[in-house]
Every structure is written in structure tokens, then in C-alpha cells.
Amino acid sequence: MINIHSCLLLMFVFFSCSGPGKKADNPIAQLQAERYIPEVADKLNEISGLMIYDDHFWGFNDSGGKNELYGFNKSGKIKYEIELNDAKNRDWESITQTDEKIFIGDFGNNMGNRDNLLIYKIDKKDLSEKEEQKVDTKEIKIKYSRQDRFSYLDKTTPYDCEAMVAFKNKLYLFSKNWRDGTTWQYEVPTKKGEYELTPTDTFNVKCLVTGADISPDNKTLALVGYENYRSFIWLFSDFPEDQFFEGKSRHIKLEGIDGAQTEGICFLNNDSILVSCEKTRSHNQQVFLFDLNKLSNGTH
């Protein structure tokens, strides 16, 4: 027999994930973009995902790009080209790390018809100082427990994802929900295997989430996204355990980059955030800096 506490927990998860999602009551703040890396090398013109490791910035091209991870410097010059053995870039979208591992999410699903979603795992100890190298990977295969149709749903699917963070020995994914502008939170073990994903929480971000990162002190979750090519960041802090949406939230409009396709995000430090965008008609592939100490309304 299921006890009453289990029933209440199941009801909470069902209704919180089925409804419109929690939202912040505070007004939208603003942050002005500062050019940090004005132009990344042409080989990374569709830069998607952003991470800092070993004094370099790391990213890759998304859908249809090579199965390669690139490390580049502050000048935007590529220093490292890492080929992932036995990997294919169907639609790489997010990158995150722990002390020992790097994770790359091949789970972009704009059409809603993919049944081969996975996360590649790399051992940092396998990386060398060679400018060109190959590394072995392990696969974490995932699928959505609620998805029972894999027909073509171009930009109307709730089963798309471009954002992932590593936090306390788990991976957390945040969906890019084309239907209603909410995001669903999922959690995945970091071990190789096959996992079915069920939402654990939801939040009304009012945009399409394209990236995520956790601050170095593990106290702030940042989500980046856009609506009609106006870019936003959501900050979540003072959250209990891994219930990110249960803490304080800040909705921030990114000024000076309208028209940019923001794809990757990472903390430079606890008070500064980097956001990457791919090449479009209005912007080169580049990285912008946002200083959280300069929030125009409210404090961080």
C-alpha cells in the first residue's frame, strides 16, 4: 500500500509540472552587455554551449557540426581541438563539468521527433596538451517518460532541451518548451546507463531556455534564453537542496544584444556571467560579459 506521504508527493509533482509553472513577482531588471571576446574563430561560428576549464573557454558547434570540442583563448583563437571517439554531433547543445568529468548534451530536439537523445561523458584525465587529440567517451542515454509520440512537431514540442548543469553528483536538465515558454527541470545520474526522465519541477521563464550554469560557490543557478530574439537571464538563489525554483528568482533583460541568438552561458566568477552567441546577420560569433553588480533594479 502506498502511504499518504507518497501520494501527496506524487500529486505535487503532477500538478506543479502540469500547470503553467511558478513565476517571479519582481519586475524585470536590466544588464548592459559588455564585449568580452568580440569574435571567436570562424570554426566556431555556431558556438553552442560554453564552459571554462584549464584557463581556456570551451564550446562546440551545434546541429550537424563535427564531433569536436574546441578550447579557445581570450582572443577567440582556438588552441585545442578534441575529437570525441564513437560520437556523432546530431544536435549538441550544452556542456557542463565536475572536478573529474566533462558532459556534453546531444539532446537538441526542435522537431520533437528524436528517440536517440544522450549525454557524452569525458574523463578530464584523458585530455592532454596536444593541440589536436582524440578522447574516448561514455554514453548516458535518456528519454522522456511522458513522450509517447515522435512525429514531426517543428518548434511546438515540449521535449526539447539545450540547458544542463552538474550539481551535487547529478546532472540537471532544463527544457526548451516551445508550447508555453515554461521550463521543466529533470535530473539524471552521472553514471553511464539508460534513464527515463520525469519532470521534478517547472517554472514560467516566459522565454526559450538555451543554456544553464551554476556559480562557482554553488549558490546561484543561471538560465539564459530568448523570446523573439530578445535575450534574458534568470537567476535563482537561496534555494533548498536542488529545488532551484523554490528560492529567490531574478528576471533580467540583456540590453545591447537584441537580435543575437544566445546559446551558451557560464559564470566567470560569482558576480560575472559570460554569454555566447552564434553568428547571425546582426552579430558575429562572440562572448559577452554581464556584471551582476550592475543590476539596474534590485541587488544581487
Total structural domains within the chain: 1
Whichever domain contains 122, its CATH number is: 2.120.10
13 within some domain: yes
Whether the predicted pLDDT of 29 surpasses 60 = yes
Q: Provide the pLDDT for residue 23.
A: 67
Contacts of 162 (CB under 8 A, 6+ apart): 48, 93, 94, 105, 107, 108, 176, 209, 210, 211, 263
State CA 209 to chain mean position distance.
7
Residue 83 lies in a domain: yes
pLDDT at 175: 98
3-state class percentages of the chain: helix first, strand second, coil last, to nearest 5: 10, 45, 45
Instruction: Kindly report which listed range (7-11, 48-52, 78-82) carries the lowest average pLDDT score.
Output: 7-11
The whole-model pTM stands at 0.91
Which domain range does residue 221 map to?
4-294
18: confidence class by pLDDT, cuts 50, 70, 90: very low
Per the rule left: phi > 0, alpha: psi between -120 and 50, beta: everything else, 259 is: left
Question: For the residues 3-30, what does the mean pLDDT come to?
Answer: 55
Determine the pLDDT at residue 64. 81
- Residue 300 inside a domain? The answer is no
Q: What is the model's pLDDT at position 24? A: 62
Confidence of residue 1 (pLDDT cuts 50, 70, 90): very low
What's the one-letter identity of residue 57?
F
| CA atoms of 87 and 17, how far apart (whole Å) | 33
Q: CA–CA separation, 37 vs 271, rounded Å?
A: 18
pLDDT digits (tens, 9 = 90+) for 270-293: 999 999 999 998 899 999 999 999
Percent of the chain with pLDDT strictly greater than 70: 90
Q: What is the pLDDT of residue 231?
A: 96
Q: Could you give the CA distance from residue 100 to residue 54 in angstroms, rounded to a whole number?
A: 12
Dihedral, CA of residue 211, residue 89, residue 140 and residue 49, to nearest 10: -20
Least confident range from 146-150, 243-247, 270-274: namely 146-150
Q: Is residue 219 part of a domain?
A: yes
Say if 149 falls within a structural domain. Answer: yes
In a domain, 52, yes or no: yes
Q: Could you read off the pLDDT of 86-126 as tens digits, one per residue?
A: 999 999 999 999 999 999 999 999 999 999 999 999 999 99
299 falls within a domain:
no
> Is 45 a member of any domain?
yes
Q: How confident is the model at residue 152 (pLDDT cuts 50, 70, 90)?
A: confident
